[in-house]
């Protein structure tokens, strides 16, 4: 017989014991409730968001390497448009988040350039500023906190770890495709990017949580 179905005595002691066992049952079966409440539509949205962002990343990096910045801008706009269209109930919140992430990304990219951490193959007209295609990528990245990375919300250590590891890996991928070069020594540049992305990802989720609470 399951523990929470074992007969208990009458009176206050019995009632308290029954409450305790019901609480234990709720804790043990919480994951089942979450699974039952999970919407297949939300799962499909998250997977679609992930795939579309990866396509936008490849388009932007290849376009940046070959001097076709528009190849990065247009897919990013499509990613954001699809995301907003599938989140009409929170569209104001999502627009503010996307714009906030874009602004934050511009600050971090400018800092990376100023520190000599990386140099883009085809910089913008103003050498100290990042090219438009990398800003477009941050624009598209703004859809991820409430998209494919929604599971990271409220989990500060995974946020820091994911940013510290996958941030540098993303830039290494861009370097391999010819979109940028890393400053010497490369290990130091990757460390700076890792620290920057760990901080950026944590700030992005703080922004997302605050917007969710305010709107």
Question: How do strand 180-182 and strand 118-120 relate by DSSP bridges?
Answer: antiparallel
Residues 184 and 151 in one domain: yes
Residues 80 and 180 in one domain: yes
Residues 139 and 209 in one domain: yes
Residues 97 and 186 in one domain: yes
Residues 18 and 93 in one domain: no
List the domain range (segments joined by +) for residue 32: 1-38
pTM over cut 0.85: no
Residues 1 and 88 in one domain: no
Residues 21 and 113 in one domain: no
Contacts of 214 (CB under 8 A, 6+ apart): none
Residues 158 and 64 in one domain: yes
| pLDDT score for 125 | 60
Task: Quick: pLDDT tens for 79-122.
Answer: 999 999 988 888 999 999 999 999 999 999 999 999 999 989 87
pLDDT tier, 124 (very low <50, low <70, confident <90, very high otherwise)? low
Residues 34 and 52 in one domain: no
Beta strand residue intervals within the chain, DSSP E: 118-120, 180-182
Residues 9 and 107 in one domain: no
pLDDT of 205 > 70? The answer is yes
| pLDDT score for 20 | 46
SS (H, E, C) 4-25: HHCCCCCHHHHHHHHHHHHHHH
Total number of domains in the chain: 2
Peptide bond just before 185 cis, omega within 30 deg: yes
Q: Count Cβ atoms below 10 Å from residue 152 Cβ, excluding itself.
A: 20
């Amino acid at each position: 017989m399951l523990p929470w179905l074992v007969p208990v005595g009458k009176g206050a002691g019995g009632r308290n014991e029954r409450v305790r066992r019901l609480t234990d049952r709720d804790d043990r079966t919480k994951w089942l409730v979450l699974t039952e409440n999970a919407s297949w539509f939300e799962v499909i949205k998250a997977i679609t968001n992930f795939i579309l962002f990866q396509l936008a990343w490849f388009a932007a990096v290849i376009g940046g390497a070959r001097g076709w910045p528009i190849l990065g801008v247009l897919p990013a706009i499509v990613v954001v448009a699809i995301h907003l269209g599938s989140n009409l109930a929170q569209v104001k919140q999502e627009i503010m988040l996307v714009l906030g992430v874009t602004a934050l990304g511009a600050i971090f990219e400018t800092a990376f350039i100023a520190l000599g951490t990386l140099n883009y193959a085809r910089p913008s007209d103003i050498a100290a500023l990042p090219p438009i295609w990398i800003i477009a990528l941050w624009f598209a990245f703004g859809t991820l906190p409430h998209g494919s990375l929604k599971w990271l919300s409220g989990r500060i250590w995974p946020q820091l770890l994911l940013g510290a590891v996958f941030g540098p890996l993303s830039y290494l991928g861009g370097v391999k495709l010819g979109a940028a070069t890393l400053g010497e020594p490369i290990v130091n540049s990757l460390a700076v990017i890792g620290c920057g992305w760990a901080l950026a990802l944590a700030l992005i989720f703080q922004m997302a949580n605050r917007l969710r609470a305010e709107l």
